[in-house]
Amino acid sequence: MNDILVVDDNRTMLMFMERVLTKRGFNVTTANDGTQALTVLEECPHIQFVLSDWMMPEMDGIELCSRLKSGSYSRYIFFVLLSGKDDQESIIDGINAGADDFVVKDTHVDEISARIKAGFRTLELHNQITAQNNELDSAYAIMKKDLESAGDLLKRLLPAERKLSGVEISYVSLPSAQIGGDMLGYMQLDEENVGFYLLDVAGHGVSSALMSFSVQQSIAVNTGKGSIVKSPIEQAPFYKINSPDSVLKQLNDLYLSDDHNLLYFTMVYSVLNVKTGMLEFSIAGHPPLVWLHAATGDAEFIGQDSFVVGAFDFVEYQTARIQLEPGDKIWIYSDGITEAEKGSEQFTEEGLRQTVMEIKHHPTTVQTEMLVNRVRDWQRSEQFDDDVSVLVVEWTGYSEGEQSCNTKLSTRVNAQFFK
């Protein structure tokens, strides 16, 4: 790297600078004014060092410097302004125009050569940093594309069917970044039972997303010896549906943290008998559920004091049971929705409960989207700082013609209610 463009309208000065700099090992190209200099630089993209006179016709050194230092110019140029003036105002004008150095014409040629060499060292460092930044940009672009692909894959894992036998379901899942740590889902366990869940892995990014994906895969297997939601038995129907607390216990055993893996997650796992309306659920460190009563329009919290999944080996979970009436809804959500912020204020669980009651007359299929939009309007921002997941399940009741079931069973067994 020793190519220099010398610009001067004085032919004698131009020839002198070309001769002395060539003797010192520089490859010198010349131009008679600023306009010609721009043409030379366009034709010679390898030149990044310009030594230019100040006073020239058509385009002087100050204007040439301003153009080369503008953000729209195609490459970085190290610019040295050569002038017959040695006053402070001239130096300030040159530096304000973007010049990297200022040299008076009567400066000894050895000093000029030393300054040029120093300029090339700065130029080389700049080019190294630029090359490294380009490599980083390229790596980031690849990572961004991979993350977007991973995000699309996680979205495909979300259930497509919104209506199962005896229930109507609506959900929203919004990662705060390209991929998030929330996951939700539901499945037909058999003709009478539907399982549904929502989990929130601590943290954000790839590691959290991979864990949520892994947990989802663990739950998705609902047949055979590898299933954690069903267990084989010897009598017909040759399986039994595992209780929600048993499912959480198995997940805790599978994902117990060690010194190399400090990830854990909160979770709700539930099983609804679609013929009787009996709901069994177990909570692992997750916010309480919201139970919306169709008969009264009131909503209340139901929850349990419990530990997260994957943090402790001594954890025992509990299964709670409630009896739903036709039209009752169960809302499950991640704390990204209740901890949405407007200044120092949070939306809160109570804000969610009130909103659930306000939108109860709208179709179930649109209620989760309405809730999320209410929170967006409240915080005056489209974006959330945390992953947001909301799942609502409505028990529509047993089909007409089926034998009536006793729906007047105890409604508050093994569950804690939060007002």
**What pLDDT is recorded for position 410?**
31
Mean pLDDT of 258-281: 90
**What pLDDT is recorded for position 351?**
97
Residue 295, judged by CB atoms within 10 A of its CB (0-12, 13-18, 19+), counts as exposed
**What pLDDT is recorded for position 181?**
83
In order of 13, 28, 110, 356, the CA distances from 20 in angstroms are 11, 10, 9, 83
Does residue 282 carry a pLDDT above 90?
A: yes
Question: Which of 53-57, 62-66, 140-144, 261-265 shows the lowest mean pLDDT across its residues?
Answer: 140-144
The amino acid sitting at 217 is Q
Using 50, 70 and 90 to split pLDDT, how confident is the model at 141? confident
Q: How far apart are CA 287 and CA 285, in angstroms?
A: 7
**What pLDDT is recorded for position 206?**
80
* End-to-end C-alpha distance for the chain, whole angstroms: 74
**What pLDDT is recorded for position 35?**
93
Residue whose structure tokens are 């899942």? 173
Q: Show the tokens assigned to 65.
A: 């410097």
> What are 307-344's pLDDT values in tens digits?
999 999 999 999 999 999 999 999 999 999 999 999 99
Using 50, 70 and 90 to split pLDDT, how confident is the model at 358? very high
Q: How far apart are CA 139 and CA 269, in angstroms?
A: 39
CB 191 within 8 A of CB 239: no
> What are 34-52's pLDDT values in tens digits?
999 999 999 999 999 999 9
The amino acid sitting at 259 is D
Kindly report the number of other CB atoms within 10 A of residue 219's CB atom.
22
Residue 232's DSSP bridge partners are 239
Q: How far apart are CA 239 and CA 242, in angstroms?
A: 9
In order of 83, 85, 100, 326, the CA distances from 55 in angstroms are 8, 10, 18, 89
Identify the top-confidence range among 68-72, 88-92, 359-363: 359-363
The amino acid sitting at 231 is S
Please, what is the average pLDDT of the chain?
Answer: 87
Q: How far apart are CA 324 and CA 340, in angstroms?
A: 30
Question: To the nearest 10°, the Cα dihedral for 321, 325, 328, 334?
Answer: 0
Q: How far apart are CA 1 and CA 24, in angstroms?
A: 13
Does residue 238 carry a pLDDT above 90?
A: no
Check whether domain 3-131 has CATH 3.30.70.260, yes or no? no
Q: How far apart are CA 266 and CA 307, in angstroms?
A: 8
Q: How far apart are CA 133 and CA 339, in angstroms?
A: 37
Q: How far apart are CA 293 and CA 155, in angstroms?
A: 31
Kindly report the number of other CB atoms within 10 A of residue 389's CB atom.
27
Q: Kindly state the helix (H) or strand (E) to which residue 90 belongs, with its residue range.
A: helix 88-96
Q: 158-418 adopts what CATH topology?
A: Phosphatase 2c; domain 1 (3.60.40)
SS3 per-residue string spanning 353-391: HHHHHHCCCCCHHHHHHHHHHHHHHHHCCCCCCCCEEEE
Kindly report the number of other CB atoms within 10 A of residue 293's CB atom.
17
Q: Show the tokens assigned to 185.
A: 């889902």
Q: Show the tokens assigned to 350.
A: 């109570």
Q: Kindly state the helix (H) or strand (E) to which residue 78 belongs, with its residue range.
A: strand 78-83
Kindly report the number of other CB atoms within 10 A of residue 108's CB atom.
8
Does residue 1 carry a pLDDT above 80?
A: no
Angle at alpha carbon of residue 243, lines to 239 and 246, rounded to 5°: 105
In order of 224, 285, 291, 349, 394, the CA distances from 338 in angstroms are 38, 15, 16, 5, 21
Mean pLDDT of 348-366: 96
Q: Strand 101-104 and strand 78-83: pairing?
A: parallel
Using 50, 70 and 90 to split pLDDT, how confident is the model at 158? confident
Does residue 414 carry a pLDDT above 50?
A: no
Q: Show the tokens assigned to 412.
A: 């508050």
> What are 74-84's pLDDT values in tens digits?
899 999 998 87
**What pLDDT is recorded for position 154?**
66
Domain boundaries, the chain: 3-131, 158-418
CB 47 within 8 A of CB 39: no
Residue whose structure tokens are 């006073």? 55
Identify the top-confidence range among 101-115, 204-218, 372-386: 372-386
CB 284 within 8 A of CB 250: no
**What pLDDT is recorded for position 178?**
65
Using 50, 70 and 90 to split pLDDT, how confident is the model at 297? very high
Q: How far apart are CA 12 and CA 32, in angstroms?
A: 11
CB 347 within 8 A of CB 338: yes
